[in-house]
Amino acid sequence: MTRPALVSLLTGLLLLVGAPTAWHLGQPADTVGDVAAASATPEPRPDRPVSVPGSDPELDLGPTDEHLVPELAPTAPAGPPPDPEPAAPAVPTGVSIPAIDVDAPIDRVGLEDDGGMEIPHDIRRIGWYEPGVEVGAAEGTAVLSGHVDSREQGRGAFWGLRELDVDDLVTVDHEDGTSSEWRVVARTVYSKDELPIADIFTRFGDPGLVLITCGGAFDDSIGHYEDNVVVYTEPAEPLDA
């Protein structure tokens, strides 16, 4: 299997089977904001292993949970106990994006049998990649993905994702009744065989939330779109505020 085919399989974002539409006509520029800064690979930490869809070594995605064993730290000198780890954020249950009229429930998703990321079959729903980072965690990037459209079901919840602009707001509701707000810092389009999986599915670096859907031209020969639309966001306010 070729490298492009493997990448497409592992992202799981080729699951959309839809009809060709005029979606890509008259749309905004492919890129807004500082994509290089938003997608920069953070410095890895040995105590925070990467968890990405798939584990094929040909993709050079970095260490995975199965292969990374943190070294034992030297014995610390006597002193006050360390601060307790912050509690994990509550499970995300819904997402709203006023700029593109999105108000959609979120499902917890994992991996398909073939190693690809699951996406809810109901295109009105959004998937949160549960094996990765929690939405609102103090470190790393959480990932939400959804369909752009479908031949049978029409427009998906993320139909308008390519219209998002810098400073647009994304609000995620959580199971405990709280919500977290995120500000768009960049949006771009990647060919499916160039999607930076290791940079997106990361537990390292500042807190972030990435939204992904399909885009670009529709390839009739395979029944899928050729690209992925990726929106990078950061917390609108400090997470501990």
Interval 77-135: pLDDT, tens: 566 766 666 678 999 999 999 999 999 999 999 988 877 888 999 999 999 999 999 99
The pTM is what?
A: 0.73
> What is the pLDDT at residue 120?
94
CA atoms within 13 A on the CB side of 39: 22
3-state class (DSSP) for residue 118: coil
> Is 231 among the domain residues?
yes
Q: Label residue 55 by pLDDT band (50, 70, 90).
A: very low
In this structure, what DSSP letter does residue 25 have? T
pLDDT (0 to 100) of residue 201: 93
pLDDT at 78: 62
Q: Which strand (E) or helix (H) includes residue 5?
A: helix 3-11
Residue 193 per-residue DSSP state: G
**156 contacts 100 by C-beta, under 8 angstroms:** no
Does residue 70 register a pLDDT over 70?
no
Residue 219 confidence (pLDDT): 86
Judge whether 213 and 195 are in contact, CB under 8 Å: no
> Which of 213, 2, 237 is CA-nearest to residue 117?
213
Give dist(CA 223, CA 112) in Å, integer. 19
Q: Which pLDDT tens digit goes with each residue over 20-52? A: 444 444 456 788 877 777 776 665 555 555 455
Q: Is residue 86 part of a domain?
A: no
Decide if 208 is inside a domain: yes
Identify the CA nearest to 182 among candidates 84, 71, 102. 102
Vertex 69, ends 68 and 71: CA angle to 5°? Answer: 130
7 belongs to a structural domain: yes
In a domain, 83, yes or no: no
Range of the domain at 134: 3-34+91-235
- CATH number of the domain where residue 178 is located: 2.40.260.10
* Gap between the Cα atoms of 51 and 203, Å rounded: 8
Residues 193-204 have a mean pLDDT of 92
Residue 137 placed within a domain = yes
Confidence (pLDDT) at 11: 43
DSSP state of 98: G
Residue with the bigger pLDDT between 15 and 159: it is 159
User: Is residue 130 in some structural domain?
Assistant: yes
The domain tally of the chain equals 1
Exposed, middle or buried: residue 190 (CB in 10 Å: 0-12, 13-18, 19+)? buried
pLDDT at 14: 44
Asked if residue 240 belongs to a domain, the reply is no
